[in-house]
Amino acid sequence: MTDERNSQGGGSEAAVSAADATPSGRSRRIGVRDFFARYGLLVVFGAVVLIFKGLDPEIFLTQDHVQNVLLLPSAFVPLLLLATALTFVLAMGDFDLSFGSMVGLAGATAVALMVNFEQPVWIAILAALGVGAAVGLFNGYIISYVGASSFVITLAGLVGLKGIEQLWTGNRSITIPVGVQPFYVDLARNVEFWDLRRPVYITFAIVAAAWIIMDRTETGRYMYAIGGNPEAARLAGIPVARIRALGFVIVALLASLVGILLTAGISGIRLNLGDAFLLDAYAAAFLGAAVFRPGQFSIPGTIVGALFLRVIEVGLLSLQISNAWINIAKGVILVFGVLVSQIMLRRK
């Protein structure tokens, strides 16, 4: 509760809390309306899980199903990492549409350096992350210091980075030969603990760090303040431009990491590698803004949103529903998340 007060204007929250306190010191009760505003998505999530479990009890959410399907590194890891990255910029009122192309460019950079130029794996990984950092700095500078629209600049990046990737790879897929760069390929393999692959544990660690940054550090509080009122944040002495630029660097770096993990998993690069995650990542982040702190983007909410989307997709696939209906369901869920978050913002 303390962090909510810090991120949403501590004075007003403290005043509301004081006004609602009873003489006996009892804590404020959450009304039915507030309960469903905060936790309604969780109720729907639980209902969906029960429905899918009832329809397919022998397979759905069994240990093997969770390990090998629900938490599939090629699907769950990119979704959660990219949605987590977007949470930083969305919390400040910005957008980034370039991360899908950044995934492909970073993966292509690493694989091309190892296969076409025979560079060591550590150089390939650092180069891929370096490209991501450079793209993030460029986006952040143009948007935060020059004042360009984040939508327009990152839309241009979506197209431009894809073109650079095509030039870099010769517009073709590249495969890492068997036995070449085993350390890189091993990044996507299983570890002994609970038989989950390394990318899943890497993702858990990064999301936990993002949670701490957003909810427990001054930088996170600054981001929420910028999202609430950039001009007021500037007058309060917050380095608005620098914090906004940092958000775009975080998105590009995490997108680069996703590119590395995906190419390690498939032992190569294929064109348009990250395009499929654009809608899903935004859907997860906007769904997250409809839970816990309605109208506010948060890492815990994003986690719920990503899991909700993944459960929907896996559950419908287990029922042999066509991809067309799965995409329709994702679109409806995204509209729901946006509507709920906007309604709650207007109420505030």
pLDDT greater than 70 at residue 101: yes
Phi, psi of 239, deg, nearest 5 = -75, 80
pLDDT tens digits, residue range 146-170?
999 999 999 999 999 999 999 999 8
Least confident range from 3-12, 37-46, 267-276, 324-333: namely 3-12
pTM: 0.86
Angle at 222 between CA 257 and CA 347, to 5 degrees: 105
CA dihedral 178, 183, 184, 187 (to 10 degrees): 110
Three-class secondary structure of residue 190 per DSSP: strand
DSSP 113-157: HHHTS---HHHHHHHHHHHHHHHHHHHHHIIIII---HHHHHHHH
Q: Determine how many CB atoms are found less than 10 A away from the CB of residue 131.
A: 22
- The stretch 71-80 carries a mean pLDDT of 93
* pLDDT value for 123: 96
Q: Do 90 and 305 form a contact (C-beta atoms < 8 A)?
A: no
Q: What's the rounded Cα separation, in Å, for the pair 80 and 84?
A: 6
Phi, psi of 78, deg, nearest 5 = -60, -40
Three-class secondary structure of residue 197 per DSSP: strand
